[in-house]
Each structure stands twice: as C-alpha cells, then as structure tokens.
Structure 1
Amino acid sequence: MIEATDIDTSYGGIQVLWDLSFSVSEEEGVVAIVGPNGAGKSTLLRVLSGIQPIDDGELTLWGEDIESLQPSDVVDMGFVHVSEERNLFNEMTVEENLEMGAYKRRENMESNMQEVYDLFPILDERSSQTAGSLSGGEQQMLAIGRGLMAEPKILALDEPSEGLAPQITDRMFEKIEAISEDVTILLIEQHVNKALSLAETAYLLENGEFVAQDTGQGLLESQHIEDAYL
C-alpha cells in the first residue's frame, strides 16, 4: 500500500511536485493519474520507485518510510515501475529479458514466464529474438512482461501506449485490464478517455499539484477534464 502526505520534490532547486497527498491499496484495480505533459507524472513514479528523493512530506510503502529504502527494496516489497523508456536489454533475447525481471523471484520463474506468454502469446513466438528486433508494441509487451516477472503487488505503467498504433493501443488497454484483475495498476497515460474508463480511482495532475480526484468515470465526466483537454 502507498500512503503519501504533502509530498514535495524538486530537481536542481526547481520544485516539481507540490503537496501531493494520495493513497493506493492492493484492493484497487486501476488507479489512473492523468495530466498534461510536464505536469510531473513521471517524476511521481520516480519518487515512488525510490529513485527521486522527496524534499518534504511523508511517503510510506507498506508502512516503510521511502527514505529508508533503496530502489531494489521497493521492488522486493512489491512496487514495480515500467518506465516510459522501457529500458530493455536490446541485445538480449525476449526470454533473457524476462529472466532478468525474475532475478529475485527465481523460485517461480518458469511458471511466471508461462503466465507472461499466456498473456502475450507473441512473446512466446519471439522468445529467441533479441528485444531490439521487436516492434514497438512487442517491446512494450516485453517491458510489462518483465515487470510481471518480479511478482508485483502494484505495477506502475508510465505511458504504456506511447508511440503505438491505434489498433495496438486498444489491445494494450485490453491487456492492462486483464492484468488489473490480479495486480493493482498505477497508470499514467495520455489517452485520457481510455485510462479513466478503466480506473476505479483517478487523479488529475497539473503543474505538480493534484487539482481533482474522483472515480475514473466521475473525473472523465467532470469540468476539470473538459477544461484541461477540450
């Protein structure tokens, strides 16, 4: 579980996040954070991952203060972040990339890999190909699959549809919905309608501050979204 109270963070003296308070529980399916480019959404995930330190406020993951944790500890606890950059090992095969995701979950690696292949059958077909030879959609599937190999309780996805064709984007959201039946998804996404349609809880982030919170459908129908995007 994530509990954040009045979080501030900055880069080089320039404040990026302002007084953010929110919570995410394992019982939620999809929690969406939407907002314009530059609002601080990716920075927030870096904070939750233990990569970017906070300047002020309180942030705990499963009761542990984030400032006492290393990024590897955050993964061990069950928070897995799939970044917008994907960060695949391009010269390694699909199977080897999935194995890297299981570097601390070796005991269940084979069964977890089969679950990933069941979710993304194309990865099974491409298992011996290098990650760098895959299409953009296949690389995104691999990045998510590698994240799932770590057995997350909360899977944070940063712009999973970035650069994908519309048809592939639709399929990606279908897969995200399927994953959310077993794993809580913290979703950052520019396809606002799709993200909010999936979300049980949603936040609108603008200029480093939350300006609205509601159910996904409630926020989708709100004046805030109309003002921000229309």
Structure 2
Amino acid sequence: MAAPIELYYWPTPNGWKITIMLEELGVPYEVKYVNIGRGEQFEPGFLKIAPNNRMPAIIDPDGPGDAPISIFESGAILQYLGRKYGRFYPASERQRVEVEQWLFWQVGGLGPMAGQAHHFRGYAPEQIQYGIDRYTNEVNRLYGVMNTRLADRAYLAGEYSIADMACIGWVIPYKNQGQDLGDFPNLKAWHERMHERPAVLRGIEVGKEERARQANLADDKEAQKILFGQRAR
C-alpha cells in the first residue's frame, strides 16, 4: 500500500481545494495542520516545502521516479494530482485547456478578489468604503462571469474537474463577500450541485474542529497582525 500523501493544511478556501481533490480521488493522505493565525507558516521546516509561506502544500512520498516530491501552490497541486491519477484533469489538449483557463481564472481572479472583499468587509481595522465597494463589486462581476458560463453546462469546463474544486471554496462564503446567490441562478444551481457530492462535503469538513478551537479571526488581533502585517523576511 502506498504511503499517504502529507498535506500541509488549514481549513480555508485554498486548503479545501486539496482536501476535496484527495477525497474525490480516494487516496490516503495525512493532514499536518499549519495554523496560519499562529504563524506556523513561517517555521523553517515548512518554508523548505512552501517558500511562499502559504499553505496548502503537499509531500508525495511516491513522486516521479519513485522519489518524494514537495509541491506548493494549490493550482499546481491540483494539476499534479490530476496528472498522476488521471482523473478530473483531461488528457486531451483541448479539454485540458478548457480546465486550465478556469483554474487560472480562479487563482488569478476569483480567489484574490474574494479574499480582498473578505478583508475590507470583515477584518480591516477601519471601514474604508472605497476598498469595500471596489472588491465587493469585483466579486459581483466575477460571480456574473461564472453565472454566464454555467448557463448551458453543469460544470465550468463541461465535465466536473479541478476547476470546480478550485472555485467552490471561494463561493461558499458568499455572504462574507457581500453577495446574494439569488442574483446568480446558474451559479446557485452549481453551488447546490457541488454540495451534492459527498467528497466535496467531506473535504470542507476537514479541520473544522481544529479551526473552531481558535478565536474568531475578526476578534483575534494577534492573528490579524500575523496574517495582515507581513513583510519580507
């Protein structure tokens, strides 16, 4: 039996991408929590795996050439797992490009913009209306892009893929982004469709109790200093 994949993780939208994928694949994995509110992402051992001091990251002991491999960045991890196991990431070039463009759309657009909306709406020490409006409106635009895309297909790239896994975590907290899924009926139907998949539900449950043990980030000033005051080290 293959050794489990080591997953360095904290239950956030980016972390969920990988737990969902691993649950969908049904491969063994071992969760190693990286409490980002306590600065564990800056520990030297973790930085050897993830030089950007961000989770998620993985170590696959059964990597290419039967040698271990470490990978950081959620999109790269999804692509690696999709190639390795031949699932949720098509082999044909045309279909693969279809998946990749929506995966990169999430990595470069939906995630960062939704993250900024979360920050200015919930965590900024003072209410900056320009920031709130800027990012709330941009998330609204991006939701509209997804809504249009999903008008004639069940999933973003046609068939269920790593693109959907990448996006769902950033739609789950839609209320924190100032959005109403009722304004986006196709996106709402996709959101419900995703929640009908048992592996998706299992993936977003990973670490729920671990996270519940710490204070709410909106009230935890020390964690906010760690997360929002970072400079080059």
Q: Please, what TM-score do these two structures have when normalized by structure 1?
A: 0.31
- If the length of structure 2 is used for normalisation, what is the TM-score? 0.31
More helix by share: 2
